[in-house]
Amino acid sequence: MRTCIKCGNEKSDDDMCTKNICYECKSLYQREYRKKNKDKIRKYKSKTEIKKRHTELEKIRRKGKPEEGILARARTRAKKFGLPFNITSEDIVIPDVCPIFGLKLEIADKIFNDSSPSLDRIIPELGYVKENVIVISNRANVLKRDAKIDELEKIVMFYKKLDK
């Protein structure tokens, strides 16, 4: 049993939020806040409207400053997987061509493709830190993603033997 800091009633743990406020008080507060702050509340209410607006903003971000979009997605992945993160958009340099395959890198409007720029962690365990990230093509990054260097070498050796 815990005491709600708003209404002072004792409630079971199941009836309490994480901040020592009961769900009833939290709901009441949210309704009052929405009434008072209609102009501050998000303009787009339905999930489809929010998703559509987010997609529009993402397109603008990709075209204008693709480094910002790459940085935002890297930050999300670092947080999700508990990886170190200390890079800025200045650390993300998008070359004209992929340094591995020589593909011309192109910023995609909607769906990432083989020639989209992709941020690669040179040593994955080190995370998104300066000196450990490089921009390569999405194709190269997908091929490298789950493979270890010795595994890639084995694949190359196997196909070289077949070529003879």
- For residue range 33-74, what is the model confidence (pLDDT) as tens digits? 888 877 766 665 677 877 777 777 776 666 678 888 888 889
Q: Dump pLDDT digits (tens) for 63-107.
A: 678 888 888 889 999 999 999 999 998 999 999 999 998 989 988
Query: Which ranges of the chain would DSSP assign to H, the alpha helix?
Result: 23-36, 47-64, 66-81, 138-145, 149-163
Least confident of 42-51, 92-101, 113-122, 138-147: 42-51
- Residue 11: predicted pLDDT: 85
Per-residue pLDDT, 121: 92
- Asked if 58 contacts 35 with a C-beta cutoff of 8 angstroms, the reply is no
Whose tokens are 């390569």? That residue is 136
- Answer whether 157's CB lies under 8 Å from 112's CB: no
